[in-house]
Amino acid sequence: MSVRRTPAAPISDDMLLAGLGAGDAEAAVAFVRRFQPLVFGVAVAVVGDYGLAEDIAQQAFERAWRHAALYDPRRGSVRTWLTRIVHNLAVDAARVRRPAPVDPQDLLPLIAAIADSPERRVLASEASEQLRVALATLPPEQARAVVMAGVHGLSTREIADVEHVPVSTAKSRIRAAMAKLHAALPVLRSDHG
Domains parsed from the chain with CATH numbers: 13-95 (1.10.1740.10), 104-188 (1.10.10.10)
Q: Does the structure show a pLDDT above 90 at 33?
A: yes
- Predicted model pTM: 0.49
| Confidence (pLDDT) at 85 | 94
Higher pLDDT pick, 112 / 180: 180
Arithmetic mean of pLDDT, 78-95: 90
| Confidence (pLDDT) at 123 | 52
* Residues in Cβ contact with 17 at an 8 Å cutoff, skipping those fewer than 6 apart: 31, 64, 68, 71, 78
By the 8 A CB rule, do 86 and 42 touch?
A: yes
Q: How far is 87 from 9, CA to CA, in rounded Å? A: 30
| Confidence (pLDDT) at 137 | 85
Strand partners, 9: 6
Residues 148-161 have pLDDT tens digits of 887 777 788 888 88
Q: What is the overall mean pLDDT for the chain?
A: 79
* Residues in Cβ contact with 141 at an 8 Å cutoff, skipping those fewer than 6 apart: 163, 173
* Cα angle 84-44-68, degrees, rounded to a multiple of 5: 30
Q: Does the structure show a pLDDT above 90 at 179?
A: no
Give which of 62, 39, 125, 55 is closest to 96, Cα–Cα: 55
88-92, 96-100, 137-141, 172-176: which has the minimum mean pLDDT? Answer: 96-100
At 22, which amino acid appears? Answer: A
Q: How far is CA 97 from CA 65, 67, 146, 173, in A?
A: 28, 28, 16, 14
